[in-house]
Every structure is written in C-alpha cells, then in structure tokens.
C-alpha cells in the first residue's frame, strides 16, 4: 500500500501540526492529501469526494469528538479504506488500542506515536499489502 498515489485524508486539530504532517508526507512522496482541522471538515471532505479515501490519518484527540469515533463513522459509511491513528500516548496504550480496533473490525493499520515517524508509517502501510 505504499503507492505514492494514495488519497489521504489528514485530520489534525492543531494547524501547525497539520502543516507539518502534510510536509512530512510530501517529503515521503505522498501528494494527494486532503487536510481537515476537525471532524466536520473531515466529513465535508468525504462528501465532496466521489470514492473513499485510501488512507485516513487522524489525531486521536479532536475537539468535540475523538479520532476513534470519527474512524468508526467514516469506516462504516464506506468513506475510508484504511486508517492510521496518531497520539502522544505511550506505545503500550497505542498497541492495545490498535489491537482492540482491529478486533472489532475497524480498518486500522496502526496507532502511532506523535510526531509521525516515516519508517513506522511505511511499515504500517506495508501491513495492508501483506
């Protein structure tokens, strides 16, 4: 899934972090990015798009909701194919959350610690291909 033509919905409520994530993804060769600062912007982006996003890259902590609830909503409505969630939580907590989300059938490739690590993201994208 490391196809650099992936359509990626990036949701991060801190504007500077959103820009930093987009720049990081651009340096990795991903250019088909749709940024959103909150759940409403993410929903609007999904409504404007004719098909699902290949990847949903989202901060877990969002104002008014959380990334897990938004992931569940967008996955159930067929708006996203795969997801990677980001947080400042510890690795053990993130691994537990990742397993739980996968066990309940959500399309989570990984729950990763911030700041976004290129190697860890690429490994997560490889999981889908395996």
Q: What is the pLDDT of residues 31-76, one digit of tens each?
A: 999 999 999 999 999 999 999 999 999 999 999 999 999 999 999 9
* pLDDT given at position 92: 95
- Per the domain annotation, does 3 fall within a domain? no
Average pLDDT along the chain: 93
**Alpha-helical segments (H) within 1-130:** 15-27, 39-48, 67-76, 91-103, 118-129
pLDDT score at 52: 97
Structure confidence at residue 125 (pLDDT): 86
- Is 11 within 8 Å of 57 (Cβ atoms)? yes
Is residue 99 in some structural domain? yes
CA distances from 77 to 4, 24, 43, 52 (A): 25, 29, 11, 9
CATH number of the CATH domain containing 71: 3.40.50.2300
Q: Does residue 1 fall inside a structural domain?
A: no
Q: Compute the half-sphere exposure of residue 122: CA atoms within 13 Å on the CB side of its CA.
A: 10
pLDDT at 130: 52
Range of the domain at 45: 8-129
Q: In the predicted model, is pLDDT for residue 80 greater than 90?
A: yes
Within-domain flag for 2:
no
Whole-model pTM: value is 0.94
Burial class (CB in 10 A: 0-12, 13-18, 19+), 57: buried
Model pLDDT, residue 1:
53
Asked if residue 51 belongs to a domain, the reply is yes
- Judge whether 110 lies within some domain: yes
**Res 82: pLDDT:** 97
- What's the structural domain count of the chain? 1
User: In degrees rounded to 5, what are phi and psi of residue 78?
Assistant: 75, 20
Predicted pLDDT at 112:
96
As a whole number, mean pLDDT of residues 19-25 equals 95
């Amino acid at each position: 899934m490391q196809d650099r033509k992936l359509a990626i919905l990036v949701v991060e409520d801190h504007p500077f972090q959103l820009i930093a994530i987009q720049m990081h993804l651009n340096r990795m060769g991903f250019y088909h990015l749709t940024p959103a600062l909150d759940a409403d912007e993410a929903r609007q982006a999904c409504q404007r798009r004719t098909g699902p996003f290949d990847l949903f890259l989202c901060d877990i902590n969002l104002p008014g909701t959380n990334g897990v609830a938004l992931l569940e909503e967008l996955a159930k409505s067929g708006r996203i194919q795969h997801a990677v969630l980001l947080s400042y939580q510890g690795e053990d907590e993130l691994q537990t959350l990742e397993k739980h989300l996968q066990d309940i059938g959500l399309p989570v490739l990984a729950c990763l610690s911030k700041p976004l690590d290129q190697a860890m993201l690429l490994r997560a994208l490889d999981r889908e291909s395996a």
